[in-house]
Amino acid sequence: MKIYTKTGDKGSTSLFGGTRVPKDHIRIESYGTVDELNSYIGLIRDQDIDAHYKDILIEIQDRLFTVGALLATPEDKAILKNGSARLQNLGIVDSDIEFLEKEIDLMESKLPPMTHFVLPGGHPTVSHCHIARCICRRAERLTVHLSHNESIPEITISYLNRLSDYLFVLARKLSLDLNAEEVKWIPRK
């Protein structure tokens, strides 16, 4: 199988199930941003960080592939070929969100309380986490926008919301682990 098909040369692409849409369709923007996020999380995973975080990030990347599949599938095409299950039933579940919350709580238990907003930066790995968090927020916004016109499992939006929280707390925890300075934002008076 060749990687290039030439079917998108005129600016359209296929969704899961075969429906063709323009490449700037909100559905494409949504799952394309999730793919961008997944790639950036791979970059964080490639940093010199604790193996536990690498394992968590692999799990997150796996879940993001599921989110991408959900976003790439119009509701009328979500029936599997055997007709026995809907794609949504194979997707994100409550325990995926609970998994992130447990990890957030574990990291926060080792961090000093936040008293101010924190400026992104302090170490390249921490900066990668903040960039991933911003990409995650964009993916969430685009998915919310898509949900205004098309059926999207609400849990998908919840997962992206919690994931951005996880990435923020991971940035703080890595700042601590890497002895990076966490710069507080103090507004000018």
> Mean per-residue pLDDT for 47-69?
96
pLDDT reported for residue 84: 45
Per-residue CA distances from 6 to 10, 60, 108 (Å)? 9, 32, 49
pLDDT tens across 82-139, in order?
444 444 456 899 999 999 999 999 999 999 998 889 999 999 999 999 999 999 999 9
Cβ distance 156 to 70 under 8 Å?
Answer: yes
**Of 170, 60, 46, the residue nearest 108 (C-alpha):** 170
> Mean per-residue pLDDT for 37-59?
98
Q: CA 172 to CA 177: how far, in whole Å? A: 9
> Mean per-residue pLDDT for 51-79?
88
Q: CA 132 to CA 53: how far, in whole Å? A: 15
State the pTM of this model.
0.87
pLDDT tens across 17-38, in order?
666 665 667 888 899 999 999 9
**Of 26, 57, 28, 27, the residue nearest 40 (C-alpha):** 57
Per-residue CA distances from 39 to 48, 57, 61 (Å)? 17, 11, 8
Q: Which residues contact 75 (CB under 8 A, 6 or more apart)?
A: 150, 151
pLDDT reported for residue 13: 60
pLDDT reported for residue 120: 93
Kindly state the DSSP code that residue 13 receives in the 8-state scheme. Answer: E
pLDDT reported for residue 23: 63
Annotated domain spans of the chain: 12-78+95-180
Residue 4 clears pLDDT 70, i.e. is over it: no
pLDDT reported for residue 14: 63
pLDDT reported for residue 28: 80
Cβ distance 117 to 183 under 8 Å?
Answer: no
pLDDT reported for residue 184: 86
pLDDT tens across 66-80, in order?
999 898 887 655 555
pLDDT tens across 156-185, in order?
999 999 999 999 999 999 999 999 988 888
Residue written as token pair 């394309």: 32
Kindly state the DSSP code that residue 118 receives in the 8-state scheme. Answer: E
Categorize the per-residue pLDDT at 8 as very low, low, confident or very high, splitting at 50, 70 and 90. low
Evaluate whether the domain defined by 12-78+95-180 bears CATH number 1.20.1200.10. Answer: yes
